[in-house]
Amino acid sequence: MDNIKVEKVLRHLHDDAKKDYLRIGKGMIKSIIRPIQPADFEKVYLPITEEQGKELHKLVIENQSKNVVEFGTSFGISTIYLADAVRQTGGKVITTELIESKAKKALQNITDAGLNQYVDVRVGDAMKTLRENLEPIDFLFLDGWKDLYLPLFKMLENKFHAGTMIYADNMDMAATRLYGNYVLNNKQKYSSQFVDGGKALLTACAA
C-alpha cells in the first residue's frame, strides 16, 4: 500500500477492529437463547488480517483483475484493499453486505480512503444482490456467512472464465466444508492451494 490516505484509514480500522472481542461477546450472549444471526454482529468487523489484505491486493494486481466481486463487506476493510488494487488495474469492486448500517459505514470508510469511485456497495442478501448486473468475474473474494459459500459460488460459476481467481477465507471453519469439497474434488475445472497458513483457499478456474 503506497497511498497515505488509504494507509491512514486502514490503520484506524484495523486498530478499532482489535476491540472486536468485546463486541463479539455481546452478540454471543443473544445466541444463548436462539440460533446466531448476522444481526448479532452488527457492530463487529470480523475482518481479514493485514497480511491477508496485502495478499489480496497483490493477487489482484498480479492477476490484472478488473472485475472484482466481494461477498461480505462488513465495515469495508477488505474492500479498501481490493479497491486500492483495482485503482491500479483499471477495474471495479462490487461488494455486498446484508446489514444496512454496516454497508453505510463501509461506504463512509471507503470514501474516507478516497476509493468510492471504484466500489459499488450492494445492500442486501448476496444471493439476490449478486444475481444480476454482473460482468464476467476476474476475482471473487468469499468472506460472508460460511454456509452460503457453496450456493453463492454455484450461482456465480457461469460468470467465471479461464484465469478467474477465487479466494475463500475461513476455510478452517466447519461450515465451509461443503464448498471446500466441491472445489477440491473438481480438479478438471479448478486448481486450488491453501494459503495464509491454511486459513484460506485460493482457487484458479481453468475454463
Q: Where does 30-89 show beta strands of DSSP type E?
A: 67-71
Nine-digit cell string for 145: 456467512
Q: How far is the CB of 126 from ligand SAM (least distance, A)?
A: 4
Q: Which is nearer to ligand SAM, 48 or 200 (CB)?
A: 48
Minimum CB distance to ligand SAM, residue 106 (Å): 8
- Tell me how far, at minimum, the Cβ of 95 lies from ligand SAM, in Å: 8
Q: What letter would DSSP give residue 53?
A: H
Q: Is 164 a binder of ligand SAM (CB under 6 A)?
A: no
Site string for ligand SAM, 93-112 (x = CB under 6 A): ---xxxx--x----------
Measured CA to CA, the distance from residue 190 to residue 23 in angstroms comes to 38
By CB under 6 A, is residue 199 in contact with ligand SAM?
no
Q: Is 200 exposed, middle or buried (0-12, 13-18, 19+ CB in 10 A)?
A: buried
Name the packing angle between helices 50-62 and 77-89 (round to 10°): 20
CB of 146 to ligand SAM, least distance (A): 9
Residue from 67, 78, 89, 164 that binds ligand SAM (CB under 6 A)? 78
Q: Residue 60: is it exposed, middle or buried by C-beta count within 10 angstroms (0-12/13-18/19+)?
A: buried
Q: Does 47 bind ligand SAM (CB under 6 A)?
A: yes
Distance (Å, rounded) from C-alpha 73 to C-alpha 142?
10
Please say whether the beta carbons of 122 and 130 come within 8 A.
yes
Cα end-to-end span (Å), the chain: 32
At closest approach, how far in Å is the CB of 164 from ligand SAM?
Answer: 19
Nearer to ligand SAM, 92 or 146 (CB): 146
In the complex, what is the shortest distance from the CB of residue 207 to ligand SAM, in angstroms, rounded to a whole number? 28
Segment 122 to 161, residues that bind ligand SAM, using CB under 6 A:
125-126, 143-145, 148
**What values do phi and psi take at 120, rounded to 5?**
-115, 110
Point out which residues bind ligand SAM (CB under 6 A).
Answer: 38, 45-48, 72, 74, 77-78, 96-99, 102, 125-126, 143-145, 148
